[in-house]
Amino acid sequence: MRLRLLLFLLGLAGATGAAAQAPAELPFYSPDTVRVQQLAVAHRTSVRQHFTASAPKTGSGDYRDHYRKIAQEAADEVYNSVRYAALLDPVLEPYVQRVFGQIKAANPQLPAVQLVLSRNPEPNAHAMGNGTVMLNIGLLARLENESQLAFILCHELAHVQARHMDNGLRERLTTWHSKELKREVRRIVAEEYNIGSKLKTLALGMSLSSNYHQRKYEKQADSLGYVLLGRTKFEAPQAYRVLQLLDKMDEPLSAERLDLARYFGCAAAPYAYETAPAKPRSIFTVGAKAATVLETSDTLKSHPDCAKRMRFMRDLAQGQVAEGPATAAPAPEWARVVALSRLEVVQSWFDYDCYDHALFEALQLLPTQPQNTYLRSVVTLSLYELRQHLVDHSFMEVVGNISKHNPENFNQLLTALYAWKAEDYKNLTACFAQQPVPAAPAAPTDEYALAARYAAANLTDEPATTALRQQYLAQYRQGKFAKLLFAKNQTSTAKKHTP
């Protein structure tokens, strides 16, 4: 009996040790692009076939030429979206495909449809007329449960079933090639004054009319999507909560100001960072905090009309709606999906050369994940790339403008980035490395951490730079950062040895 107990305890200790040493989860990367290339070609072919089958048989030659041009652009767009953004990882992609499959099984009347999970960090989703549904990882990262994901997919499937893309395209083409529009353009051009402004007014009116029809389709997709969702095992009241989330989707994960002094302030870099919004200069101008443009203007939101859609959904659901964030903890599997999705969002911003966004997203997540070595690696790599672009006079290509349309804490970061000089990055990197990490794990050896160690050494002029470069290329010859970090070095070395 004692022997069995001893073996059990040893086994438990071993299991605990193995769990403690389990490698941290990282964004997905594979140098093998054969599968994603095949998928992109298949979707391009599907779009072409769809538009060929739907091509207008009547109408003017200009009308049909315009249609063929749009069809070709749509085929190219879906090819590029899949080829360069499809996420075929072993965790998230099978998960969303499983939910998608359950919806299709519960709604056999749906046409042929397929789902592509995209690395795009923007929180959105859309459907092509051929039945391809694109779900951005940025949207998956902001949802609260599986039923909300199911409604997003049902909404897009409703667009496909109702042929909204085809109908909208025909409406726009009919308007653009109508005799009435051509007559109005000729009348304006024949006038003597204000031709440009009148043509702009005409174009604006057409744009507003197009937006009206698009929003009409959104309402229809909400209604049909709710019906599709109701046939599944998922919770229909979550459809309303999705619209609540979409209404705030342009806001960052947290509205709290970034603690830049905590991460980048130390004796080596004694910069002054604002810890609170600037105060009014006069006591007579004190007032309530003004809402941002995104909070006050529905037109500027990436998901407009949510307030109206919520009222419609409440009536449709006869008041059976889920409001506000859930009080219960999410299911473990869903929590993992969200955590991985947020890491993919950070990496996507970095891969798209949006280093300001990558740094911002990483700093947003670090307060709740101070031991996450991947997030720390992205911070260091972002600093490295920002300095490189500053030195190369291409800083504005990778950093956005300070704008009243931005969230306040993102503008806070942009203000700091525009204030830092190239020579500051050495001390900033050193300060970040000194920032204490509670119960810090052993130095990680994954690709991201090794690339970050090289970047930090390069920024701080450490003699270990060459050895780290050699180590990375020896371990990750086809790695994610091989070209980004070392292509210039390899090119310059090759030139030196060229006779």
Interval 312-333 mean pLDDT: 93
> What is the model's pTM?
0.85
What pLDDT does 313 receive? 95
**190 pLDDT band (50/70/90 cuts)?**
confident
Between 70 and 202, the higher pLDDT residue: 70
Calpha distance 127→170 (Å, rounded) = 17
Angle of helix 482-496 versus helix 465-475 axis, rounded to 10 = 110
- Examine the pLDDT at 287 and tell me if it is beyond 70: no
Q: CA quadruple 243, 247, 250, 251: dihedral positive or negative?
A: negative
Calpha distance 373→369 (Å, rounded) = 9
Provide the percentage of residues in the chain whose pLDDT is more than 90.
Answer: 64
**Residue 28 CA, distance from chain mean position:** 15
Calpha distance 160→172 (Å, rounded) = 18
Calpha distance 206→199 (Å, rounded) = 11
Cβ contacts of residue 126 below 8 Å, gap of 6+?
A: 133, 134, 156, 159
Distances (CA, A) of 411 to 265, 273, 393, 430: 19, 13, 21, 24
314 phi/psi in degrees, rounded to 5:
-65, -40
From the list 264, 260, 262, the residue with the least C-alpha distance to 430 is 264
**64 pLDDT band (50/70/90 cuts)?**
confident
- Examine the pLDDT at 288 and tell me if it is beyond 70: no
Cβ contacts of residue 441 below 8 Å, gap of 6+?
A: 371, 373
From the list 477, 424, 141, 343, the residue with the least C-alpha distance to 351 is 343
- Examine the pLDDT at 21 and tell me if it is beyond 60: no
Interval 142-148 mean pLDDT: 97
Residues 35-60 have pLDDT tens digits of 999 999 999 999 999 999 988 888 78
Query: Which region, left, alpha or beta, applies to residue 24 given φ > 0 means left and ψ of -120 to 50 means alpha?
Result: beta
Residues 93-112 have pLDDT tens digits of 999 999 999 999 999 999 99
Mean pLDDT of the chain: 85
What pLDDT does 375 receive? 97
What pLDDT does 5 receive? 41
Calpha distance 396→414 (Å, rounded) = 11
- Report residue 76 as tokens: 């190219």
Cβ atoms of 293 and 300 closer than 8 Å = yes
Calpha distance 293→300 (Å, rounded) = 8
Calpha distance 383→431 (Å, rounded) = 12
Under DSSP, is residue 136 helix (H, G, I), strand (E, B) or coil? strand
What pLDDT does 300 receive? 62
Interval 452-470 mean pLDDT: 91
